[in-house]
Chain A
Amino acid sequence: MDKEFIKQITRMSSLGLNVIISSIIGFIIGYYLDKYTGYIYLFVIIFTIIGFSAGIYEIYKQIKKELNTKV
């Protein structure tokens, strides 16, 4: 098998999981911040959105890199 192909598969297969996990990390950070500050759901929503965008940003970075190396 082509080595470039194996590398691409491994890198790309980790991206889908990254979106979910960074959302969960954001949720956990927000949950504890809410507990600490006394707000209800404010930080949970903010940090879940930030976590989700972190996952999307990671995909964006990887795809950009992949396209650059191809050309």
Chain B
Amino acid sequence: MLTAPILINIPGIPIYWTMTVITMIIVLSLSFIIGKSLKIVPGAVQSFAELIIIMTEYFLKEIIGDEGAIYLPLIASFAVFILFSNLIGSIPGFTSPTETIDTTAALALIVFVLSHFMGLKKHKVKYLKKFLGPLIVLAPIMIIIEVMSALSRPFSHALRLFANIFAEGFMVTVLLFLLPWVIPAIMMYMQIFTDFMQAFVFYLLAIIYIALSLESEEMGEGENAL
């Protein structure tokens, strides 16, 4: 398989571990610098950080409701971490940590476990009723179907981010061998757009999955009656 050359490659340690650590260092030092030098009239970097927090606050309030405020730290750090780990792949000599399914699966599992845990905490035993389907007669079949569709969520969540980022990195590498210099540069420009898009989609789906397990069954039936 064609692979682009990697700048930092410590033998014995997978490349994406190194890249994850580099991304973490970038994100942490950037947020440290922003936190130290807060201004009333923000500069470019501070405005970007403020934009992410305000946007997350807005989406949490719109999709989950008032109880969504406690997810702000998690979801906002998802946005920043995924965005930076996508973008680091555009720099020659680096690859995105999200190019392997391990990183994205870890992120998707956090959302999966958290959403079901919070749903169970909020609705107690009633939460399990969601898995029984609408009719009690059909419950033995519906429970398999419901569990399967619940299981497919983290898979599709992880696979979407991984596949898109992997595909764009691979495509640029292949084009570099086939049609050097001009076409890959255009593709790399497109890559930045997809990086932003995929980070946004992952982030929004995380909020939606949490909201889906938090919403109550009674409200859904009430809506059906209307």
Contacts and interface: CB of A to CB of B under 8 A. Distances in A.
Interface of A: 3, 6-7, 10-11, 13-14, 17-18, 21-22, 24-26, 50-51, 53-55, 57-58, 64-65, 68-69, 71
A25 B224 contact: no
Contacts of A14: 153, 156-157, 160, 205
Contact of A18 (B59, B62, B153, B204): B153
Given A21-B159, A68-B224, A54 B201 contact: no
B156 A7 contact: no
Contacts of A13: 201
Contacts of B145: 50, 53-54, 57
Contacts, number: 65
Contact of B148 (A7, A11, A50, A64): A50
Interface of B: 59, 62-63, 141, 144-146, 148-149, 151-153, 155-157, 159-160, 201, 204-205, 208, 220, 223-224, 226
A14 B156 CA distance: 7
A22 B205 contact: no
Contacts of B160: 14, 17
Contacts of A54: 144-146, 148-149, 152
